[in-house]
Amino acid sequence: MLSRTADHLFWMARYIERAENTARMLDVNVSTSLLPMSRESAERGWRAMLGISELQPAYDARFDKLTPQDVIEFMVRDPDNRSSIYCCLQAARENARAVRGALTTDVWETHNDTWLQLQHHLQGELLERNPHEFFEWVKFRSHLSRGVTIGTMLKDEAFYFIRLGTFLERADNTARILDIKFHGVAESPGALPAAQAQSQSQSQGVEEEPYLDFYYWAAVLRSVSAFEIYRRVYRDVITPSRVAELLMLRGDMPRSLLASISDVCANLEQLRNDQSAETSRRAGLLRAELEYGRIDDILDTGLHAFLTSFLKRVNDLGQRISHDFLVPLMVR
Amino acid sequence: MSLSTFNEMYAADGGVRSHYREFESWLSRQSDDLMRLKRAEADLTFRRVGITFAVYGESAGTERLIPFDLIPRIIPAAEWRRLETGLRQRVTALNRFLHDIYHDGEIVRAGRIPAESVFGNAQFRPQMKGIDVADGIYAHVAGVDIVRADAGEYYVLEDNLRVPSGVSYMLEDRRMMMRLFPDLFACNRVAPVEHYPDLLLENLRSVAPVGVDDPTVVLLTPGMYNSAYFEHAFLAQQMGVELVEGQDLFVQDAGVYMRTTQGPKRVDVIYRRIDDDFLDPKVFRKDSTLGVPGLLDVYRAGRVSLANAIGTGVADDKSIYPFVPDMIEFYLGEKPLLTNVPTYRCRNRDDLEYTLQHLAQLVVKEVHNAGGYGMLIGPCATREELDDFTRRLRANPQNYIAQPTLALSTCPTYVESGVAPRHIDLRPFVLSGKEVTMVPGGLTRVALREGSLVVNSSQGGGTKDTWVLGR
């Protein structure tokens, strides 16, 4: 397959996955912000959302102050924000269009139709009237694009590059969703910021914070469609460390880091060429660490530190994949 | 403009022509509402499928639909047989002409065509002199524009031998008609066209370099912002070949390779949809980023085939056009079966004078231009436009030809106010390789504006499904 074609397929999948996860993150923030809480807490949530996507400077350049409406505007429909849902869905569609011959008609039409429908939604009032419904729509279109890929594409290189893009992006995004809570909070080893918040609120009197934490982690679970799964797996109250375990180390949890990296490995295996051995090795090593890691050990060294390092390694994998397969191979 | 026109569906006495009878009676049974719904459905489908074309001069990425009309253009079997034979003859002669002028130039030496028109032509590529291309075929794909005028006479208007486009609309229009009105195809015996991509692939494989048994064919596109990108992607997919851009290809060890995820892969046949000028920045336009540096060397060495060949533009040039009937007689010893439109070559003093005196009745075209650009339609022109062209003709007469304004035939077409006659043309696609093949019919373009004779999609033209009826 042409390197350029592989590149377009890989990024087509990454962008639609990114759009989905941005929708998931925004949805969490919208629903937690409905809880009674101080302005500072609410603002911290939105700020973390921007920080985790590395978009705070771009946002500040456009808006004077931080309001939920503006953050949503910025993250959904801003054509100058390369990470906005608008830009991601456009990029997914443009990548698909560039290689529509390598896709089944069904896959191409799904991406094209998503793009056409998005414009319709953004012209209408859906986002203002019911943001949750809009975010659900984004998720649904992403589900649809994955489903139509699996349901109609020949299992050849094109398919594996699409899947590789999906899972690499998902690994990155799930890590970011988990990390939101810790973003901008100084971390002490062995303690989850949640616990800090709780101890603070105990000393300062109980107005809002104690139950907030429960709702926050419940929202994180919901954002990755894992709330019911959590109940089924643990049959117990929601604790941050179990949430972290579920979303990081459970191989049977489809959006977890382990599941995503395992899928990265499996697809890399299908695609391997003369120069990709080192990339496979690094991906395999990362999978082994997640597969055999224990949540207590990770929490001891610090969750934020772990996630930061994880994101770096995912980024490294992305660059290596690009070097091994996607950048036009020069002959020597 | 008052020209009596030939209506494809209705005879002069108002009666329905026999080959339209079945369709007309079907149409009369359909309600306006149903047809309106079907038109909306067609638009929606084209948009969802992404059958769009980019419009130059608008911001990058602007995509438009080419309007599709629900009333087909119907050609009786016997009429098509005559056209097909004539097309075969014409394209064969044109290929012989191209081979000749890049080798011995016999037709020039025989005094049938002035040397200046051939060798002094901007479209003549000296780099092609003495090069032997596979099977002596230059124009592998020809999109010959045919119009109908007067009492139904067919004329060849243009031989498009460079990178003719539009065949994807021929195929998609048929697919759309069958989807919207399956019942129509049950009661009319319409000759199928869907096998065009198969014919094209077979044709391309047949012209691979000598010694290549299982050639790798690719389609070279300028990229997704090209106006015909949909067609490039469509044909590559239908043929199951890679759609490549210039950056995907490179030259090494006297071969052309594409960059793949598994390393370099040899390419044998390039169906290129890029103009000569952009093919190889080492030889043609230096600023071209669309081409492949070094391609021409490999091509000249016979180690890759290009379809169409480099330098075909000289044969479809408007200044050469008047000589095509001579070519047919010269190379094939046959009488031309298709008629040329009478053409005044303004480089000749007499023709120039005639043109200037009759400007208001003539169509004036620039010899190297295509796509309906740089054209004067005398009967529709304003005083200022006529004056402007008079100046241009006097300043640079060799740049123009003139032809009588043909009253192009019309076909009933859906417009704002209902159904009304609109002018149409026809572009059949002729494939030349080991043999000459074509699918019955072609692309019918329709000028949607009332009275307009310009059918080009870049100028607001639409398309119709084209039916060649079975016997």
Closest A-chain CA to B218: A2
Facing B48 at nearest CB: one of A112, A161, A326:
A112
Domain that holds residue A236: 3-326
Q: Determine how many CB atoms are found less than 10 A away from the CB of residue A277.
A: 11
Rounded CA separation A44/A40 (Å) = 6
HSE value, Cβ hemisphere, 13 Å, CA-based, for B354: 17
End-to-end alpha-carbon separation of chain B, Å? 38
Residue A332: inside a domain, yes or no? no
Backbone angles phi, psi at B432, to 5 degrees: -120, 130
Q: Does B224 touch chain A (CB under 8 A)?
A: yes
Task: List, in order, residues 6 or more apart from A191 with CB less than 8 Å away.
Answer: none
Closest A-chain CA to B257: A331
Rounded CA separation B104/B330 (Å) = 14
Q: Determine how many CB atoms are found less than 10 A away from the CB of residue B368.
A: 14
Q: Determine how many CB atoms are found less than 10 A away from the CB of residue A44.
A: 19
Segment A3-13 shows an average pLDDT of 94
Q: B461 forms bridges with which residues in the sheet?
A: B447
Residue B470, Cβ density class (10 Å: 0-12 exposed, 13-18 middle, ≥19 buried): exposed
Residue B302, Cβ density class (10 Å: 0-12 exposed, 13-18 middle, ≥19 buried): middle
Mean pLDDT is lowest, of A63-72, B346-355, B363-372, for B363-372
Residue A99: inside a domain, yes or no? yes
Q: What is the bridge-based pairing of β-strands B344-345 and B400-404?
A: antiparallel
Task: Return the amino acid letter for A231.
Answer: R
Render pLDDT for A53-66 as a digit per residue (tens, 0 to 9): 889 999 999 999 88
pLDDT of B58 reads: 52
Segment B317-324 shows an average pLDDT of 93
pLDDT of B1 reads: 40
Rounded CA separation B15/B165 (Å) = 35
Could you give the number of structural domains in chain A? 1
Confidence of residue B417 (pLDDT cuts 50, 70, 90): confident
Q: Determine how many CB atoms are found less than 10 A away from the CB of residue B355.
A: 25
Q: B263 forms bridges with which residues in the sheet?
A: B260
Task: List, in order, residues 6 or more apart from B64 with CB less than 8 Å away.
Answer: B52, B53, B54, B55
Residue A225: inside a domain, yes or no? yes
Instruction: Give A-chain residues touching B259 at CB under 8 angstroms.
Output: 2-4, 328-329
B224 and A94 in contact by Cβ < 8 A? yes
Task: Return the amino acid letter for A306.
Answer: F
Q: Does B55 touch chain A (CB under 8 A)?
A: no
Predicted-complex ipTM score: 0.73
Confidence of residue B332 (pLDDT cuts 50, 70, 90): very high
Segment B403-416 shows an average pLDDT of 92
Q: What is the bridge-based pairing of β-strands B436-437 and B153-160?
A: unpaired
Answer for the pair A247, A181: CB distance below 8 angstroms, yes or no.
Answer: no
* Residue showing tokens 């929708």: A23
Q: Tell me which H or E stretch contains B468.
A: strand B461-468
The overall average pLDDT reported for chain B is 92
Cis amide leading into B226 (omega within 30):
no
Name the maximum alpha-carbon separation found in chain A: 70
Residue A331: inside a domain, yes or no? no
Q: What is the DSSP string of B342-377?
A: P-EETTSHHHHHHHHHTGGGEEEEETT--TT-SEEE
Residue A165: inside a domain, yes or no? yes
**Where in chain B are the domains?**
18-341+406-468, 342-405
Task: Return the amino acid letter for B423.
Answer: H
pLDDT of B2 reads: 41
B258: three-class secondary structure by DSSP: strand
Reading the block at residue B37, the tokens are 């719904």
Facing A97 at nearest CB: one of B50, B237, B250:
B50
Segment B434-448 shows an average pLDDT of 95
Answer for the pair B93, B338: CB distance below 8 angstroms, yes or no.
Answer: no
pLDDT of A183 reads: 64
Q: Which CATH class is domain B342-405?
A: alpha beta
Mean pLDDT is lowest, of A277-281, A322-326, B330-334, for A322-326
Facing A273 at nearest CB: one of B224, B247, B262:
B262
Task: Quote the DSSP letter at residue B10.
Answer: B
Answer for the pair B316, B369: CB distance below 8 angstroms, yes or no.
Answer: no
A3 and B248 in contact by Cβ < 8 A? yes
Answer for the pair A230, A208: CB distance below 8 angstroms, yes or no.
Answer: no
Calculate the CA dihedral of residues B27, B32, B33, B38 and round it to 10 degrees.
50
Rounded CA separation A18/A14 (Å) = 6
Task: Return the amino acid letter for A107.
Answer: V
Q: Does B26 touch chain A (CB under 8 A)?
A: no
Residue A165, Cβ density class (10 Å: 0-12 exposed, 13-18 middle, ≥19 buried): buried
Confidence of residue A41 (pLDDT cuts 50, 70, 90): confident
Reading the block at residue B135, the tokens are 């099977």
Task: List, in order, residues 6 or more apart from B251 with CB less than 8 Å away.
Answer: B257, B292, B293, B294, B295, B297, B298
* Mutation for testing the B interface, residue in A3, A87, A103, A320 having most B CBs under 10 Å: A3
A4 and B245 in contact by Cβ < 8 A? yes
Rounded CA separation B147/B409 (Å) = 7
- Strand positions, DSSP E, B214-268: 217-220, 242-244, 249-252, 255-260, 263-267
Answer for the pair B404, B362: CB distance below 8 angstroms, yes or no.
Answer: yes
- How would you list the strands of the sheet with B263-267, edge to edge? B249-252, B255-260, B263-267
Render pLDDT for B271-286 as a digit per residue (tens, 0 to 9): 999 999 999 999 998 8
Rounded CA separation B419/B335 (Å) = 40
Task: Quote the DSSP letter at residue A323.
Answer: I
Facing B261 at nearest CB: one of A94, A98, A271:
A271
Q: Determine how many CB atoms are found less than 10 A away from the CB of residue B416.
A: 7
Task: Return the amino acid letter for B15.
Answer: G
**Chain Cα centroid distance, residue B280:** 24
Render pLDDT for B346-361 as a digit per residue (tens, 0 to 9): 989 999 999 999 999 9
- How would you list the strands of the sheet with B344-345, edge to edge? B344-345, B400-404, B362-366, B375-377
Q: B400 forms bridges with which residues in the sheet?
A: B366
Render pLDDT for A179-227 as a digit per residue (tens, 0 to 9): 887 665 544 444 454 444 443 433 343 344 567 778 788 888 988 999 9
Q: Does B48 touch chain A (CB under 8 A)?
A: yes
Q: Does A307 touch chain B (CB under 8 A)?
A: no
B window 238-297, beta carbon within 8 A of A: 242-245, 247-248, 250, 252, 257-264
Task: Return the amino acid letter for A40.
Answer: E
Confidence of residue B265 (pLDDT cuts 50, 70, 90): very high
Q: B158 forms bridges with which residues in the sheet?
A: B145
* Mutation for testing the A interface, residue in B260, B270, B289, B290 having most A CBs under 10 Å: B260
Highest mean pLDDT among A159-163, B45-49, B363-367, B416-420: A159-163
B48 and A326 in contact by Cβ < 8 A? no
